[in-house]
C-alpha cells in the first residue's frame, strides 16, 4: 500500500511539473504543435525517430531484464560459468544489421524531407522576402515591392513564401518553430527556404545560433493574415510618407528631436536603403520593442535612455547623443504614433 502511495505521489508531482513547465512557453512558439508545412514535416520526423528509439529502448531493456533474472548467481552455483558466446557470427550479424536497417528507416524520410523543404522551383512565382540578420535584430525586404521593414513579417495564409537569408555580421539562425524547420543565416552564401502557414495567427521566431550577448533576445514575429489583408498591408506599406506630420504637438516635437539627433542616420521610416538599425516603418503597430519587451511608452523611454539595459551588446548603445528623459518621452510619443496601416497582429488573431 505504502509503495503505491509513493508512486502516486511521484506521478502527481511529475504531472504538476509538466503543467507548470508547459506554461513557460509562449503560444505559437513550439515545434510540437505544427501550424505550417515545414513544422509538420519536422514533427513527422520527430515522431518517427521517437518511435524507433522507444522500440530500441524497449527491446534492449527486455533483453537486459531477462538476462538479469535468467543468469543471476544461484545458490550452489557460485563457480558456474555460462556458455561463452563471443565471436558468434549469427549474433554479431544480427546486431550489426538491425541498427543499419533502423538508420535506413530514419534516413530515407529525413533526406526526402530535406530536399522537399529546400525546393525552390516555385520561388520565382511566389512572394520572396530578403532577410538580413544583424546583432540582434532582423531586416526584411519584400522583393519587387520596394519597401522594407524589421522585426515583424506579414505573410498570407496558405501560400508558399520564400525567404532568402544573409547575415551582415556573424552566423544567425532563422527559426519559426510552429511554422518551419530552421536554417542558417550566413554572412556569405545565401540560404533559401519557404514557409507555408496553415492558419492565421502570430507566430514567434527565434535566432537559434549563439551570436553574442543578446542572442536569446533576437526574437521576431511572423504575422499570418488572409490574402486580402496581406495585399492591403503591402499597399499601405508602399504608401508610407516618412515626412508626414504627426497629429499631437508633443509628437511633432518628438519628430524634430528624432531629426536633430540624426536618428535617421541608422533608422529609416518608409522605404529606404538605410539599415544600420531597424527600419521603424509602422513601429507603433508592433507589439514588442527590441523583439522581447512589450511595447509601451515607459519601456520605449527606458530603451531610448539606456538600450544596454534591455539588450546587452546592441549596436545602438553610446552611438547617439545622450538624451534627457523629457526628450526621450517626446521621441517615444513620435515613434508610437507611427501606425501606417490598419492591418496589425490583431487582424491575424481575429
Report the interface residues with ligand CUA, using CB under 6 A: 133, 136, 172, 207, 209-211, 215, 218
CB of 133 to ligand CUA, least distance (A): 6
Minimum Å gap between C-beta 5 and ligand CUA is 47
In the complex, the smallest distance separating the C-beta of residue 210 from ligand CUA, rounded to whole angstroms, is 6
C-alpha separations of 235 from 40, 88, 229, 343 in Å: 31, 73, 10, 11
Q: Cell numbers of 323, please?
A: 538624451
Angle (deg, nearest 10), helices 249-260 and 325-336: 110
Dihedral sign of CA atoms 5, 11, 17, 20 in order: negative
Nearest to 298 by CA among 289, 320, 247, 221: 289
Three-state SS at 286 = coil
Which residues lie below 8 Å from residue 251, measured CB to CB, with a gap of 6+? 330, 333, 334, 337
Residue 238 vs 315, nearer CB to ligand CUA: 315
DSSP 3-state of 24: coil
Comparing CA positions, the residue from 130, 144, 143 lying closest to residue 174 is: 130
CA–CA distance, 5 with 11 (Å, rounded to integer) = 10
Minimal distance, residue 167 CB to ligand CUA, in Å: 8
Closer CB to ligand CUA, 41 or 211, in the complex: 211
Min dist CB 17 to ligand CUA, Å, is: 29
Closer CB to ligand CUA, residue 316 or residue 331? 316
Q: Kindly state the smallest distance separating residue 203's Cβ from ligand CUA, in Å.
A: 18
| CB closer to ligand CUA out of 34 and 133 | 133
Cell 534516413, located at residue: 107
Please, which residue, 207 or 301, has the CB nearer to ligand CUA? 207
Q: Using the minimum distance from each CB to ligand CUA, give the nearer residue, 37 or 136.
A: 136
Q: How far is the CB of 211 from ligand CUA (least distance, A)?
A: 3
Nearer to ligand CUA, 169 or 287 (CB): 169
Q: In this structure, are residues 224 and 212 in contact, taking their beta carbons and an 8 Å threshold?
A: no
CB of 166 to ligand CUA, least distance (A): 13
Shortest spacing between CB 163 and ligand CUA, in angstroms: 15
Cβ–Cβ < 8 Å for 109, 40:
no
Our CB check for ligand CUA shows the closer of 218 and 310 to be 218
Please, which residue, 40 or 184, has the CB nearer to ligand CUA? 184
- b/e burial code for range 121-145 (CB count within 10 A of at least 16 → b): eebeeebbbbbbbbbbbbbbbbeee
Is the separation of the CB atoms in 155 and 179 below 8 Å?
no
Report the C-alpha gap between 90 and 97 in whole angstroms. Answer: 11
Amino acid at each position: 500500500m505504502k509503495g503505491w502511495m509513493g508512486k502516486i505521489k511521484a506521478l502527481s508531482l511529475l504531472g504538476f511539473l509538466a503543467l507548470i513547465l508547459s506554461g513557460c512557453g509562449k503560444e505559437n512558439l513550439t515545434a510540437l504543435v505544427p501550424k505550417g508545412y515545414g513544422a509538420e514535416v519536422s514533427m513527422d520526423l520527430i515522431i518517427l525517430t521517437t518511435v524507433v528509439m522507444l522500440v530500441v529502448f524497449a527491446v534492449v531493456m527486455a533483453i537486459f531484464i531477462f538476462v538479469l533474472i535468467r543468469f543471476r548467481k544461484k545458490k550452489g552455483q557460485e563457480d558456474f560459468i555460462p556458455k561463452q558466446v563471443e565471436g558468434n557470427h549469427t549474433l554479431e550479424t544480427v546486431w550489426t544489421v538491425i541498427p543499419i536497417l533502423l538508420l535506413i528507416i530514419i534516413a530515407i524520410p529525413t533526406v526526402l524531407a530535406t530536399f522537399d523543404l529546400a525546393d525552390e522551383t516555385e520561388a520565382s512565382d511566389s512572394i520572396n522576402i530578403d532577410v538580413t540578420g544583424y546583432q540582434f535584430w532582423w531586416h526584411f525586404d519584400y522583393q519587387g515591392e520596394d519597401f522594407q521593414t524589421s522585426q515583424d513579417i506579414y505573410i498570407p495564409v496558405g501560400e508558399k513564401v520564400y525567404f532568402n537569408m544573409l547575415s551582415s555580421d556573424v552566423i544567425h539562425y532563422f527559426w519559426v518553430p510552429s511554422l518551419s524547420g530552421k536554417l542558417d543565416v550566413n554572412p556569405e552564401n545565401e540560404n533559401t527556404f519557404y514557409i507555408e502557414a496553415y492558419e492565421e495567427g502570430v507566430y514567434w521566431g527565434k535566432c537559434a545560433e549563439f551570436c553574442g550577448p543578446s542572442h536569446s533576445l533576437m526574437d521576431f514575429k511572423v504575422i499570418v493574415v488572409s490574402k486580402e489583408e496581406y495585399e492591403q498591408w503591402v499597399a499601405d506599406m508602399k504608401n508610407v510618407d516618412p515626412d508626414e506630420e504627426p497629429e499631437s504637438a508633443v509628437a511633432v516635437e518628438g519628430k524634430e528631436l528624432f531629426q536633430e539627433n540624426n536618428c535617421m542616420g541608422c533608422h529609416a521610416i518608409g522605404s529606404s536603403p538605410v539599415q544600420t538599425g531597424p527600419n521603424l516603418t509602422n513601429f507603433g503597430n508592433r507589439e514588442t520593442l527590441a523583439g522581447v519587451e512589450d511595447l509601451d511608452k515607459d519601456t520605449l523611454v527606458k530603451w531610448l535612455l539606456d538600450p544596454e539595459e534591455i539588450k546587452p551588446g546592441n549596436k545602438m548603445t553610446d552611438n547617439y547623443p545622450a538624451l534627457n528623459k523629457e526628450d526621450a518621452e517626446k521621441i517615444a510619443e513620435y515613434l508610437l504614433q507611427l501606425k501606417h496601416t490598419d492591418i496589425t497582429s490583431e487582424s491575424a488573431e481575429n
